[in-house]
Structure 1
Amino acid sequence: MRTPSPDTAWHDFARTAVLTAIGLLYGYLALAIAIDPYDSGRSTLFSVGGVRPQGPRTALAVRGRDPVFTGAVIGNSHIQLVEPASLSAATGIPFVQLSVPATGPGEQLLVLDWYLRHHPKPAALVMAADDFWCTDDPALPPGKPFPFWLLERDPVAYAFGLLRFNVAQEVVGRIGWLLRRKRPMARADGWWDYEPDYLKLGFGGGDRRAPSAGPPVPDIPDPHKAGRFPAAARLTAMLARVPPATPVVLVFPPIHASALPRPGTARAAAEQACKAAIAAAVATHPLGSVLDERRDTPETHEDAQFFDQSHYRHPIARALTDAVAAAIVRLRGPSAIHD
C-alpha cells in the first residue's frame, strides 16, 4: 500500500474540512429554518401560538402576524405608552403594539409592510411620526441596529440573516424554551409599560434634571431636516396598499413644550413643512386622519408629566389613547363599534 505524498494528504484533509464545514453550515441552516427562532411563520413546525420573552425588535415578527389582532400601533417609544387593550375596549378592534424603541421611519414602514402582508384588510392602523421622520435622507437609515433580515420578503436574505452568532444563540434558546413543560410567555399584544423602568432609573424626580431645564432649541433648522421629506413619499406608497375602508390615524406624539421650536423661527417653519408633507401623505387615504399633539398645550409645560423632553407619562398617554380611539370611531362610524 502506497503512502500518500504530503501534497495529496493535505489536499484530502482540506477537501474533508471544507465538505465538513459546508455540511455543518447546511445542517445548521436546516435546523434554524425549522426551529424559526423568532416564530416568523416561515416554518410552523414548532409554532406554539405564544410569544417567547424577547425584545420588541424580534417579537414583532410573531405579534405582527397574529390573526387575532386586526388593529396595530406602529412607532417607537414616543407612542409606546398607548395601551392596546384600552384602544381595543374603546373601538371593539383587537389592537397589538408593534412599536419598537429607537426606530425611525425606515424600520417602522417595514413593520407596517410586515403587518399588511399578514393582515391585508386591517380594521384600523395607528402610526406615529416624530422628528426622525423629517430626515432628508432617502435611505431612511436606522439610528440603532434593527433586524431588517427578519422581515425580508426574500428567503435568501432571511437565510443569510440566520447566519449570525446571536441568532444561533436564539435557536438554542428557543429549543430549550420549547422543551420546557411550563414556558414563560410574553404579552401577546405587545404592551410594554416603560414608566416603572424610568422610575427605577430615577427619572421621576430627585437629582434628575427637569425636562424644562433641557438645552434650548436652536432657531436654525437642522440642515438634514429642512428639505424634502422622503418618509412622507414612502408613507404614501404604503398607504396605497391599505384598503379604503381601513381607518388610518397618524399621530404626532406630544413632547415637552421646552423642546418645541420658537414660533416664527426658521426651525418652526421647517417642522411645519415636515408635518404638512406627512399630513398630505395621510390625506391620500380615504379614511386618513392626523392627530397633531406635538404642540404647545398647558399639559406640555408640566415637568411632572414627562420623564424627559420627549417621553411623557401615563396621564398624557391616557388622553392620547382616548383621542386616537375617538378618531378611529369617528372614521368608522359609531355603528361599527363592537360589530
Structure 2
Amino acid sequence: MNSSTSSSEVSSETAWRRFAIFLLAVTAVAVVGIIAAAYVIDPYDTGRSRLFARDGVRPQGPRTANASRGRDPSYDSAIFGNSQIQLLSPERLNQRTGFNFLQLAVPATGPKEHFVLIDWFLKHRTGPVKALVVDSDETWCTSDPAMPNFRPFPFWLYAANPLEYAKGLMRYDILEELPRRLGYVFGKKPERARPDGYWDYEPNYLNLGYDTRPEIRARLEKPYYASEPTFERDPKEGQRTFPVADKLKELAGSLPPETALIVVHPARYKNYLPPPGTEEWYQDKACKMAMKAALSGHSRSAVVDWRIDRPENRNADYFFDLSHYRQPIAMAIEADIAKALQGLN
C-alpha cells in the first residue's frame, strides 16, 4: 500500500514539474515573440527597424515622440530643455535665423534627460548642425554627479545598446502601442504628431483660469524664497561644484567649429529670483559662472540670461506662474537668441 502510494505521488510530482516547465517555456517564447514583434514594428519610430516604416508617429507626449522627431534629417538645429523653454517657437526662430529648428523640450525634465536627447539628435544628423539651444534652469545647478531625474523618462528608448532597448520593450504599454503604430502605418490619412515638436501651453493655462482666477494670480506675489540673513561674500566660495557644467564642457568640446551652442537661462517672475546676498543667490551666480566657463572652449557659443531682474520679469501679465511665461517673453527670448547667433558669425 505504501509502495503504491509513493509511486503515485512521484508520478504526480513529475507531471506537475513537467507542466510547470511547459508553462515557463510557453511564457518565455511568448515574451521573446512579443519583444521581437515590437522590435520589428518599432512602435515609436526609432529607426531600428524599417519593415513598418512611416515618417513620424501618432500624437503623443514628447517623451516618446521625440525619438522619431530627433531622427528627422530635415532639421539642422534644435531646442532642448523642459517646459521653461517649451514656448520658444521653431517657426519664429526659423524666420529670424534662416535655420530649421526642431523643438525637443520635454516638460518636467532635467539635465540628464536633456543630454540624452542632445546625443540622440546629434547621432542622427546627416548634414552639418547649425545650432543647439539648451535650457539651463535650476536643475542644472545640482551638485549630484548622477544628475537625478524626478519624473519617469524612457531612457531605454534612446539607448545606443540594442539589448537595453529590447529590455525596455518589456512593458505593458508596448502592447497597447503596437496596434496603434500599425494603425498609423497602414492608415490612409492618420493624424500625425507635429513634426517640429512645438507645443503651445498657453491654451491649457488659460482654460484653467491662470490669467483670471484671483487665488491663482495671488500666488505670483508670494516670494518663493524665505527671508534669510544676507552675506557680504559667498559663504561657500570655492566649494561649490556643478557636475552638469562638466557635461556641458564635454558637449562643447565635441561640437564642430561651425555649430553654435546657445545656453539659455529661462525667465523667472520677480518673486522667483533669489534675493541678492542670500545662499540661493550665490548658488545661482556660481552656477551661471560655471556654465559660462564650460562654453569657453567652443568659439561659437553664447549665453542668453533671462533669469535676472528685468522689467519684463516684473510684469505679472507676462506670467502664468513663477516659472512659466507667456508669448511676449518667449518672443523676446527668441529675439535674443537670434541676436546671439548673429553675433557669432
TM-score normalised by the chain length of structure 1: 0.92
| Contact 2:264/2:306 (<8 A) preserved | yes
Which residue among 160, 164, 170 is the counterpart of 2:167? 160
| Contact 1:211/1:256 (<8 A) preserved | no
What is the identity, as a one-letter code, of the residue corresponding to 1:315?
P
Q: CA deviation at 1:51?
A: 2.9
Q: Residue 99 of structure 1 corresponds to which residue in structure 2? A: 105
Partner Cα distance (1:209, 1:86) in 2: 29
Which residue among 259, 264, 283 is the counterpart of 1:246? 259
Q: How does 1:252-271 map to 2 (within 5 A)?
A: 252-271=265-284
Q: Residue 12 of structure 2 corresponds to which residue in structure 1? A: 6
Which residue among 277, 283, 304 is the counterpart of 2:290? 277
| Contact 2:45/2:56 (<8 A) preserved | no
Partner Cα distance (1:168, 1:234) in 2: 36
Q: How does 1:232-243 map to 2 (within 5 A)?
A: 232-243=245-256
Secondary structure of the structure 2 residue equivalent to 1:232: helix
Q: CA deviation at 1:122?
A: 0.9
Superposed CA deviations along residues 130-178 of structure 1, whole A, max 9, x for unmatched, are 0111111110010111111111111111111000112222123212332
Partner Cα distance (1:168, 1:126) in 2: 35
Secondary structure of the structure 1 residue equivalent to 2:220: helix
Q: CA deviation at 1:285?
A: 1.3
Which residue among 194, 207, 215 is the counterpart of 1:200? 207
Which residue among 125, 132, 137 is the counterpart of 1:119? 125
| Contact 1:210/1:303 (<8 A) preserved | no
| Contact 1:63/1:189 (<8 A) preserved | yes
Q: CA deviation at 1:89?
A: 1.4
Q: Residue 4 of structure 2 corresponds to which residue in structure 1? A: none
Q: CA deviation at 1:49?
A: 1.2
Q: CA deviation at 1:17?
A: 1.2
What is the identity, as a one-letter code, of the residue corresponding to 2:154?
P
Q: Residue 336 of structure 1 corresponds to which residue in structure 2? A: none
Superposed CA deviations along residues 21-44 of structure 1, whole A, max 9, x for unmatched, are 111111101100011111111112
Which residue among 205, 208, 228 is the counterpart of 2:241? 228
| Contact 2:53/2:185 (<8 A) preserved | no
Q: CA deviation at 1:211?
A: 4.9
Q: CA deviation at 1:325?
A: 1.4
Q: CA deviation at 1:205?
A: 2.0
Superposed CA deviations along residues 67-116 of structure 1, whole A, max 9, x for unmatched, are 00110000111111110011111111111000000101111011111111
Q: Residue 65 of structure 2 corresponds to which residue in structure 1? A: 59
Which residue among 214, 230, 251 is the counterpart of 2:222? 214
* Residue 89 of structure 1 pairs with residue 102 of structure 2: no
Q: How does 1:161-200 map to 2 (within 5 A)?
A: 161-200=168-207
Q: Residue 137 of structure 2 corresponds to which residue in structure 1? A: 130
Superposed CA deviations along residues 225-281 of structure 1, whole A, max 9, x for unmatched, are x82111111111122221111111111011001111112223211110011001111
**Alpha carbon RMSD of aligned pairs, Å?**
1.8
Q: Residue 28 of structure 2 corresponds to which residue in structure 1? A: 22
Secondary structure of the structure 2 residue equivalent to 1:210: helix
| Contact 2:83/2:324 (<8 A) preserved | yes
* Residue 42 of structure 1 pairs with residue 55 of structure 2: no
Secondary structure of the structure 2 residue equivalent to 1:174: helix
Superposed CA deviations along residues 260-314 of structure 1, whole A, max 9, x for unmatched, are 1112223211110011001111222121100111111111111110000101000
Q: Is the deviation greater in 94-103 or in 212-221?
A: 212-221
Partner Cα distance (2:331, 2:219) in 1: 20
Partner Cα distance (1:16, 1:191) in 2: 50
Partner Cα distance (1:5, 1:12) in 2: 11
Q: CA deviation at 1:52?
A: 1.5
> Structure 1 segments of 4 or more deviating over 3 A?
218-221
| Contact 2:56/2:69 (<8 A) preserved | no
How many residue pairs get matched? 327
Q: Over alpha carbons, which structure has the higher Rg?
A: 2
Q: CA deviation at 1:215?
A: 3.5
Q: Residue 324 of structure 1 corresponds to which residue in structure 2? A: 337
| Contact 1:134/1:231 (<8 A) preserved | yes
Secondary structure of the structure 2 residue equivalent to 1:283: coil
* Structure 1 unmatched ranges of 5 or more: 334-339
* Structure 2 unmatched ranges of 5 or more: 1-7
